[in-house]
Amino acid sequence: MNAFQQARFISSVVRAEDLPPAAGRELVFAGRSNVGKSSAINALANRRRLAFASRTPGRTRSINFFELGGGARLVDLPGYGYAAAPRALRATWEPLITGFLAARRRFAGIVLLTDARRPLVQSDRQFLAWLAPVDAPRLVLLSKADKLSRVEQAQALAHSRAALAKERIEATALLFSSKQEETVAEARALLEQWLAERRA
Ligand code: GDP
């Protein structure tokens, strides 16, 4: 169905009261700042500046909404893990995310990007635990996998799958690099499948 090819930026929201109501099937993207989330969204949509286009100064703490084909949406959550400003982060990030999640009980999918060189650090696991009540299939992408050797990639994948099993989090874990089209295609195919399944 190729929903990603039709991706179009809709809006950037910074205040919980400005959040649009849930409509259609939504794929949520999350991850620590600098993990490669914008690059991943661009790669999945096969566009150079889709996610960066919404990233004007002051908007890095916003939720960015994109329309996909067929009435689906991609929701880009603000990057978390600014160790330098935990209180400021909680003050701006939490009400926005909490407001977003409060209005939604299910998603077509939750995509968590985590750095393949140090996958599923505490803030990632906290985020997944926080989302535990939400009904959605989960995809953990081990980003920047191109920076690892084949052996290291296999270790990162095994480590991540073991960590998810230990925390009793049901999720698919895949190696991902926005620079390696075969990994992008694999993630895209799975997400397109989830969107198709949630059409009913
Ligand atoms: P975001 O803050 O999570 O949206 O991260 P960005 O997409 O802006 O990427 C952060 C940095 O990581 C940038 O310098 C990117 O060029 C780099 N980066 C992103 N994805 C990859 C990847 O798959 N491989 C490599 N080697 N670098 C990447």
pLDDT digits (tens, 9 = 90+) for 142-165: 999 999 999 999 999 999 999 999
The residue whose CB lies within 8 Å of the most ligand 1 atoms, and thus the one to mutate among 33, 37, 39, 178, is 39
Name, in order, each residue with C-beta under 8 angstroms of 192's C-beta and a sequence gap of 6 or more: 1, 2, 3, 4
Q: Taking a C-beta distance cutoff of 8 angstroms, is the pair 142, 156 a contact?
A: yes
The DSSP result for 82-143, as a single string, is: -TT-HHHHHHHHHHHHHHHHHT-SB-SEEEEEEETTS-S-HHHHHHHHHTTTSB--EEEEEE
Predicted confidence at residue 153, as pLDDT, reads 98
> Whole domain around residue 170: which residue ranges?
3-197
Domain of 144, CATH number, reads 3.40.50.300
Predicted confidence at residue 42, as pLDDT, reads 95
Ligand 1 nearest-atom number relative to CA 31: 3
Predicted confidence at residue 14, as pLDDT, reads 87
Look at residue 9 and tell me whether its pLDDT is greater than 80.
yes
Predicted confidence at residue 22, as pLDDT, reads 86
Model pTM above 0.85: yes
Predicted confidence at residue 84, as pLDDT, reads 47
What tens digit of pLDDT does each residue of 27-49 get? Answer: 999 999 899 999 999 999 998 88
Predicted confidence at residue 108, as pLDDT, reads 96
Binding pocket residue ranges, ligand 1, CB within 6 Å: 31, 33-39, 79, 143-144, 146-147, 177-179
What tens digit of pLDDT does each residue of 78-137 get? Answer: 888 655 445 665 677 778 888 898 888 889 999 999 999 999 999 899 889 888 989 999
Look at residue 193 and tell me whether its pLDDT is greater than 50.
yes
Look at residue 8 and tell me whether its pLDDT is greater than 70.
yes
Domain count for the chain? 1
Q: Which protein residue has the closest C-alpha to ligand 1 atom 4?
A: 38
Predicted confidence at residue 200, as pLDDT, reads 52
